Structure 1
Amino acid sequence: MKLQIVPARTGALWVRLGIQTFFQQPLALAGLFFMCMAALSIVSLVPILGSIAAMVFLPTMALALMAATQEASKGKFPTPNIVLGALRAGQQGMRPMLVLGALYAAGFLVVLGISALVDGGEFARVFLGNRGAEDTGDEPLRLQAGMLAFMVLHLPLSLAFWHAPALVHWHGISPGKSLFFSLVACWRNKGAYVLFGLSWFGVLLVVGMVVQLLAALLDQPAFLGVGAFVVTLLTTCMFLTSIYFSFRDSFSADDAEVKAPDAIE
């Protein structure tokens, strides 16, 4: 496995490829995304351990969408069977993915716990659904401080897991090393990832303005809420689709490396 350094402009290319690939197979990719979200939602309904179990399976969900994107980029229809087959065909099987998920859940809980030290647990209670944001009393600044602390601390956690599922699955890297290599790849290609983030921010702004304009033209305020929800979900799916291309361009297999049947070509 080799790290590749890409120009900063590649970040915008990843966004374009993600959107284009999504519209090549919109029903398949959106259906898979909603299926994964529904499965995680059902798991999270289990008292106490449900939310933790859902976090454990988040890296697997991300890998499933990356595998589906790989199929779609080849002009194939990514059915759930293809995705499940790709997950089973990993170089080390499912166990390392579960370890990776457990590490993510632990890291997430640590980040949430640190944010609770900042705001007395206000943001954690809102995030876990124990109270609404409007019920924070006369101290909204504490909630904002906790939210800011969570966002700042969650960023390095997200970058560590950005490429980790794909590295474990396609390159056979151990979970611990995959987190390190993912962070290194994001840092070495920081220009591309900054432009990637800014490009998606621009896409969200444009999409939000279009939804607001349509709601005004149709004189249907309710459309704004429903439209924003649907568009947010579809945009999230496109975002996750674009992550595959960031991985594809950031790493390449060694000539001597044995690939899985569905490895990147």
Structure 2
Amino acid sequence: MSTTMQLHLQSVPARNGRLWIRHGFKVFQRQPVALAGLFGLFLFAGFVAMLIPGIGLLLTMASLPLLSLGFMLATHLVLQKKMPTAGVFVAPLKLTAERRRSQLLLCLGYAGAMLVIGLLSDWIDGGSTRDLQKLIAENADNEAIANAATDPRLFWGLATRMGLMGLLSVPYWHAPALVHWGGQGVAQALFSSTLALWRNKAAFAVNMLLWGALLMGVASAVSLVFALIGLSQVAPIVLMALGLMLSTVFYVSLYFSFVDCFMFGAPQDVLDEPKSTSPS
């Protein structure tokens, strides 16, 4: 796992954005329980961390770069016909001291940036998002929730939050993997990730559009079906389960976007020849 690989930045066609999703589903089908369990474990750990006063939220946000890299390592293990375990989340910290330091700096930088985004968004929306969340958590009456949801500041705060989070994801999309497998420093990894997404923006645009369409399609279909059979109250439970599954598939698919953008000896069909897809 400590070998530095030669990574070659390349351009891929837009249709590859669809293939990343397809490969993600195929790998998930090989180890659905193990992969879903990893995502569930991360969510549970995040919930526990959130209970820590003062630093819980920062710890959860700081762990997100390791979540994406952990699922890349888990996907690699599944392709090798091995069982992924929770060790994938700490494996990146067990390499050289230099790479461990770089990964921790990436995590701290991500948490700091997310904190700034949150503060800026709260300032723009005047706290309207927090007020709405509080009303929902307290099961307030529908009229109060509706009034809070129509606050015009809510839109601008949400737009700021989502826009800045989207921009932040660009340099961090591949950065942890570039540190882990490529041995790159923090600045180089962030720059390389940004360059890769820009060079392959058509593929990533297709990928994001398809994910959005898939999520909306699943939500609409489930709501409609359960409404027709008179079990609308069950729909949220089914949607939550499907949401967890699709989130797991999304993180699994990140591996294939990395392999595509930084091809390092991967065969054309990574699923047919799993043992030669990436560094060990």
The two structures have a TM-score, normalised by structure 2, of: 0.83
Alpha-carbon distance, 1:54 to partner: 1.1
Q: Distance in 2 between matches of 1:71 and 1:193?
A: 24
Q: Deviation per CA, 1:157-184: give whole Å up to 9, x if none.
A: 0111111111111111112221111111
| Greater CA drift, 245-254 or 88-97 | 88-97
Alpha-carbon distance, 1:126 to partner: 5.6
- Correspondent of 1:39 among 37, 45, 50: 45
Q: Is the 8 A contact 2:264 2:278 kept in 1?
A: no
Is 1:3 matched with 2:18? Answer: no
Is 1:196 matched with 2:202? Answer: no
Q: Distance in 2 between matches of 1:126 and 1:250?
A: 42
Shift of the 4–142 alpha-carbon distance from structure 1 to 2, 3 Å rule, reads: same
- Correspondent of 2:167 among 146, 156, 177: 156
> SS in structure 2 opposite 1:47?
coil
Alpha-carbon distance, 1:84 to partner: 5.1
Structure 2 residue runs of 5 or longer lacking an equivalent are: 1-6, 138-144, 266-276
Q: Is the 8 A contact 2:75 2:252 kept in 1?
A: yes
| Greater CA drift, 39-48 or 135-144 | 135-144
User: Amino acid of the residue matched to residue 9 of structure 1?
Assistant: R
Give the match for residue 87 of structure 1.
92
**Equivalent residues in 2 for 1:1-265 (5 A)?**
1-81=7-87, 83=88, 86-91=91-96, 92-123=98-129, 125=130, 132=136, 134=145, 137=148, 140-253=151-264, 264=279
Alpha-carbon distance, 1:197 to partner: 0.6
User: Amino acid of the residue matched to residue 229 of structure 1?
Assistant: M
Alpha-carbon distance, 1:218 to partner: 3.7
Q: Percent same amino acid among aligned pairs?
A: 36
User: Amino acid of the residue matched to residue 60 of structure 1?
Assistant: L
Q: Distance in 2 between matches of 1:131 and 1:154?
A: 25
Alpha-carbon distance, 1:95 to partner: 2.5
User: Amino acid of the residue matched to residue 251 of structure 1?
Assistant: F
Q: Is the 8 A contact 2:72 2:255 kept in 1?
A: yes
Q: Distance in 1 between matches of 2:202 and 2:56?
A: 38
Q: Deviation per CA, 1:138-169: give whole Å up to 9, x if none.
A: 85211121001111111110111111111111
| Greater CA drift, 215-224 or 40-49 | 215-224
Give the match for residue 270 of structure 2.
none
Q: Distance in 1 between matches of 2:149 and 2:209?
A: 34
User: Amino acid of the residue matched to residue 92 of structure 2?
Assistant: L
Q: Distance in 2 between matches of 1:130 and 1:50?
A: 19
The two structures have a TM-score, normalised by structure 1, of: 0.87
RMSD (CA atoms):
2.4
Structure 1 residue runs of 5 or longer lacking an equivalent are: 255-261
Q: Distance in 1 between matches of 2:147 and 2:223?
A: 29
Q: Is the 8 A contact 2:99 2:179 kept in 1?
A: no
